[in-house]
Amino acid sequence: MKILVCISNVPDTTTKIKFAEGNTLIDTTGIQWVINPWDELSLTRALELKDDAASGIKSVTVLHVGTATSEPTIRKALAIGADDAIRVNAESSDSWFVAFQIAEVVKKEQFDIIMCGIESSDYNGSVVGGMISEFLGIPSVSAVSGIRIENGQPVMTREIDGGKEVVTVPVPFVAIVQKGIAKEPRIAAMRGIMMARSKPVKLVEPVAVEPLTEIVVFEKPTPRAACKYIDADNPAQLIDLLQNEAKVI
């Protein structure tokens, strides 16, 4: 079986986002770009599965839709251990556009398990994985917090409101993963970094498609009022404020 891990290139999660050009663009100065945290965990889990010879996973490919500026993120994924990479050479205009491009690639190359993160930490869309599966007409399992292979069959744990379910669907399918899929992201070792330089990155040109959504302007969140301090010896005052001022208890 072959696994495809879709990776998004996002600002490091500690970035204080600033907007530019009348709040119509992200100010990218000084931003450090990283693999989207959930995608990094997907990749980690995919590699763990491949490491286990009994799983029958033969290869792990990463796919990214983006311009040449995201090459370092792709190289990082290869250094962590992906066998090869595909980059669709396009500026991603919206989730619809990205999912469409990924589906086009999957139609040409065969993968059994397609892994996507539950959301990308930039636009918080939570939609690309589901869209890919519908473009391809294949099953999807959402909120996946665990995946293992049992007798050649992928078995997943998915989170439901107030519990968990263990489910299977036939391959090929899209697994949309979240917290729990892997414990800690795998880190690239020196050997991996050296090897990544010679691993293949296939360049694919995008297929023309009109996006369905457009961001017209950004806003910063409204700052919260200053914190009101209460004496540590008098928490009763806090209760009073929560009851009579904030009216939340």
Partner 1 sequence: MSILVYTENWDGKFKKLSFELVSYATGIAEMLNTTVTAVSIGKVDENELRKLGNFGANKIISINNDQLIALDSQSYTSVISEITQKEGAEVIIISNNNTGKALAPRLSVRLKAGIGSGVSRLPLNLNPFTVYKKVFSGNGYAHVVLKSDVKIITLAQNSFDLVETLNNTVIENVELTIDGSSLKTAVKDVQKQTGKILLTDAEIVVSGGRGMKSPDNWGPIEELAGLLGAATACSRPVSDEGWRPIGEHTGQTGKVIAPNLYIAVGISGAIQHLAGISGSKCIVAINTDKDAPIFEAADYGIVGDAFKVLPKLIEAVKEMKS
Q: Which residues bind ligand FAD (CB under 6 A)?
A: 13, 37
- Say how far residue 170 (Cα) sits from the centre of its chain: 23
Contacts with partner 1, 21-60, as mask; x by CB under 8 A? ----------------xx----------------------
Within 10 angstroms of residue 224's Cβ, the number of other Cβ atoms is: 6
Could you tell me the two tokens for 162?
């107030």
For residue 204, the partner it binds in ligand FAD, partner 1, none, with Cβ less than 5 to 8 A by kind, is none
3 state SS of 106: helix
Contact partner at residue 202 from partner 1, ligand FAD, none, CB < 5 to 8 Å by partner kind: none
Candidate residues 155, 193, 201, 204; the one interacting with partner 1 per rule CB under 8 A: 155
- The one of ligand FAD, partner 1, none whose footprint includes residue 163, by CB under 5 to 8 A per kind, is partner 1
- Cβ 103 vs Cβ 132: under 8 Å: yes
Candidate list 58, 107, 202, 228; residue touching partner 1; CB under 8 A: 228
User: For 32, how many CA atoms within 13 A lie in the half-sphere containing its CB?
Assistant: 4
Q: Give which of ligand FAD, partner 1, none residue 31 binds (C-beta under 5 to 8 Å, depending on kind).
A: none
Q: Which CB, 39 or 196, lies closer to partner 1? A: 39
Q: How many Cα atoms sit within 13 Å of 70 on the Cβ side?
A: 26
Size of the site for partner 1 (CB under 8 A): 85
* Minimum distance of partner 1 from residue 198's CB (angstroms): 32
User: Are the C-beta atoms of residues 116 and 129 closer than 8 Å to each other?
Assistant: yes
Assess 215 for contact with partner 1 (CB under 8 A).
Answer: yes
Sign of the torsion formed by the C-alpha atoms of 141, 119, 109 and 148: negative
Q: What is the DSSP letter of 70?
A: G
